[in-house]
């Protein structure tokens, strides 16, 4: 091989390597499966922490009506912010959704049904995670879901009629006439944070 040809191969290979490194650092970039799994964990953890922080601040005032209004708006705003920041698909989904925007797709519905079954068997804890590689429309994806588990503070908005104050019930009837997200008990699976990340071909 001539020195000129070797130089061309080296230069071209280096350029592709650099482009690949740059691509991986960009929002929405295709990732190797192990990196995609870690990114899914990172996104769900960061989102959950920010959401809980926002909700706790609202609940700290003791005004649960204000808290539920904030919960509805803050969660969707946070989701949009995380979508914009990461470039990846991220949603809160539930079989018993309150907001139609949280209606799961077919894959999410399948996994949520499994969560519901496992939850009743006592097998869903705060550390539980679910992930699988899927193939959709010519692209491989890491589908990552982190269950959302009902806590005591959730019952003021998602519990039984005895748990939810009348003012909140009235607000929910007006804002969400088809609301399904009620009658939960502590420890039950409320839904999940769902992340979908495109994968590189390995």
User: What share of the chain in percent tops pLDDT 70?
Assistant: 80
Kindly report the pTM of this predicted structure. Answer: 0.81
Average pLDDT of the residues in 100-125:
95
How would residue 3 be classed by pLDDT, with cut points 50, 70 and 90? low
Q: What is the pLDDT of residue 72?
A: 65
**Strand extents, DSSP E, the chain:** 89-93, 130-136, 139-149, 189-198
Q: What is the pLDDT of residue 5?
A: 42
**pLDDT above 80: residue 56:** no
Task: Return the half-sphere exposure (C-beta side, CA atoms, 13 A cut-off) of residue 171.
Answer: 17
Task: Compute how many other C-beta atoms are within 10 angstroms of the C-beta atom of residue 47.
Answer: 21
How would residue 153 be classed by pLDDT, with cut points 50, 70 and 90? confident
**pLDDT above 90: residue 142:** yes
Find the range with the poorest average confidence among 9-18, 23-32, 88-97, 141-150. 9-18
Average pLDDT of the residues in 17-34:
63
Closest CA to 98 of 183, 167, 182: 182
Residues in CB range of 126: below 8 A, 6 or more apart? 149
């Amino acid at each position: 091989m001539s020195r000129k040809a070797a130089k061309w191969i080296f230069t071209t290979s280096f350029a592709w390597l650099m482009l690949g490194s740059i691509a991986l650092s960009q929002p929405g970039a295709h990732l190797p499966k192990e990196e995609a799994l870690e990114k899914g964990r990172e996104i769900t953890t960061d989102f959950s922490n920010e959401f809980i922080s926002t909700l706790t601040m609202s609940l700290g005032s003791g005004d649960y009506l204000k808290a539920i209004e904030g919960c509805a708006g803050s969660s969707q705003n946070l989701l949009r912010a995380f979508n914009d920041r990461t470039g990846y698909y991220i949603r809160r989904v539930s079989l018993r959704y309150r907001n139609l925007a949280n209606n799961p797709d077919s894959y999410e519905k399948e996994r949520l049904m499994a969560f519901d079954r496992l939850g009743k068997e006592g097998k869903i804890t705060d550390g539980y995670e679910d992930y699988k590689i899927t193939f959709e429309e010519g692209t491989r994806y890491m589908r990552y879901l982190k269950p959302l588990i009902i806590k005591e503070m959730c019952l003021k908005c998602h519990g039984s009629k005895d748990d939810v104050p009348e003012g909140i019930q009235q607000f929910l009837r007006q804002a969400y006439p088809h609301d399904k997200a009620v009658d939960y008990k502590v420890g039950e699976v409320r839904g999940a944070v769902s992340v979908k990340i495109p994968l590189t071909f390995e």
